[in-house]
């Protein structure tokens, strides 16, 4: 696995695929046993991976505990990104959740303990809680850096204007958002903003919850069918999956691998999840795939989105040199 610089503000070399930790453990329900989680992490590390994405909410802290145990003797060889906001308990008190400094401080201490470390590489609010003032979030993150508990700061699931506001008040290094062939809304504001500030971009759900593997159209079950047994593809989604299947056939790979390979061409770090070792092994095969320009263009075109105002207006009036 290759390494790339994480944004332009850190100098930090990070593996091109991030290991997602949401399925590590079983405390929350659907997940993998601690034993298999260790095997998954070992296979990821053996493939050259060094970047693990977590949250105190994932399996109610068990994911962090498993990663802490796995890296106990090699912690400095890994990059930990972990998140807070919702609280690590099944039913947290309101005073212990949210993005304010009290919740932030309690959450970071819990994550440090579970991860068996004295610092977190990248620390991120999991989402905009809609209540905490932006300056409170910024100063709280800055305090953690000053205290040596956190090296780099970031945001996940924030509107671009709020992320930009924080990025102009403290050094910000990371942005996490959903991005895939059926969810390209980040191209309107989030990706340009992140590029402007030199943020490392971490994207989750590169397979759109398994949708882009094409398994649902062939009758397989998964996350989406559990929430909606009457699964339907809208016209654009159908066209996207059709194109993925065509390119997969051309390359003798799977549609899901093609979908992840496309994401990897867009200047972001995809987060890959795995509930079994075989799932991870399938995901890692994307490292051997190289889409050519024509294939990338086909996927770009079939998944194109309206940029909306003001982007479409500006494209008609701005001068081109």
Extended beta strands in the chain, E state: 3-5, 13-15, 18-20, 51-53, 79-84, 120-125, 150-156, 174-178, 200-204, 269-272
CA distance linking residue 144 with residue 136, whole number of Å: 12
Residues in contact with 140: Cβ distance below 8 Å, sequence separation at least 6, in sequence order: 99, 100, 101, 104, 105
pTM of the model: 0.94
Check residue 216 and give its pLDDT: 84
CB atoms within 10 A of CB 1: 15
- Give the domains, in start order, of the chain with CATH numbers: 3-317 (3.20.20.100)
CA atoms in the 13 A half-sphere facing the CB of 32:
23
Rama region for 115: left / alpha / beta (φ>0; ψ in -120 to 50; rest): alpha
Are the beta carbons of 124 and 83 closer than 8 angstroms?
A: yes
Check residue 254 and give its pLDDT: 98
> In the block, which residue shows the tokens 């989680």?
37
Check residue 59 and give its pLDDT: 96
Burial (CB count <10 Å: 0-12, 13-18, 19+), residue 319: exposed
Check residue 91 and give its pLDDT: 86
Quote the Cα angle for 209-212-216, to 5°: 80
CA distance linking residue 151 with residue 164, whole number of Å: 20
Q: Average pLDDT of each block of 10 consecutive residues along the chain (321 residues)? A: 98 98 93 97 98 98 98 98 94 91 97 98 99 98 98 99 98 98 98 99 97 81 50 88 98 98 99 96 97 99 98 94 85
Look at residues 125, 210, 128, 139 and name the one whose alpha carbon lies nearest to residue 161. Answer: 128
Residues in contact with 76: Cβ distance below 8 Å, sequence separation at least 6, in sequence order: none
Whether residue 141 has a cis bond before it, omega within 30° of 0:
no
CA distance linking residue 301 with residue 100, whole number of Å: 42
Check residue 217 and give its pLDDT: 78
């Amino acid at each position: 696995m290759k390494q790339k610089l994480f944004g332009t503000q850190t100098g930090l070399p990070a593996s091109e695929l991030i290991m997602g930790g949401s399925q590590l453990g079983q405390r929350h329900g659907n997940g993998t046993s601690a034993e298999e989680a260790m095997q998954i992490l070992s296979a990821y590390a053996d493939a050259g991976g060094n970047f693990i994405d977590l949250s105190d909410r994932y399996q109610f802290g068990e994911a962090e505990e498993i990663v802490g145990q796995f890296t106990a003797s090699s912690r400095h060889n890994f990059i930990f990104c972990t998140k807070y906001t919702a609280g690590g308990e099944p039913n947290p008190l309101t005073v212990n959740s949210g993005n304010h400094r009290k919740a932030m401080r309690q959450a970071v201490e819990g994550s440090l303990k579970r991860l068996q470390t004295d610092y977190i590489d990248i620390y991120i609010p999991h989402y905009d809680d809609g209540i905490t003032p932006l300056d409170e979030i910024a100063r709280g993150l800055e305090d953690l850096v000053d205290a040596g508990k956190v090296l780099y700061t970031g945001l996940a699931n924030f509107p671009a204007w709020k992320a930009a506001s924080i990025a102009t008040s403290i050094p910000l290094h990371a942005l996490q958002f959903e991005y895939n062939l059926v969810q390209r809304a980040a191209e309107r504001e989030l990706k340009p903003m992140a590029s402007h500030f030199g943020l490392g971009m971490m994207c989750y759900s590169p397979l759109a919850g398994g949708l882009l593997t094409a398994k649902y159209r062939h009758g397989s079950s998964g996350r989406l069918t559990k929430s909606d047994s009457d699964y339907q593809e809208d016209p654009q989604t159908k066209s996207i999956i059709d194109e993925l299947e065509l390119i997969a056939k051309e390359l003798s790979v799977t549609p899901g691998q093609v979908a992840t390979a496309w994401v990897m061409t867009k200047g972001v770090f995809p987060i890959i999840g795995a509930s079994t070792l075989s799932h991870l092994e399938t995901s890692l095969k994307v490292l051997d795939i190289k889409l050519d320009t024509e294939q990338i263009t086909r996927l770009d075109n079939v998944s194109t989105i309206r940029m909306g105002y003001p982007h479409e207006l500006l494209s008609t009036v701005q001068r081109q040199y």
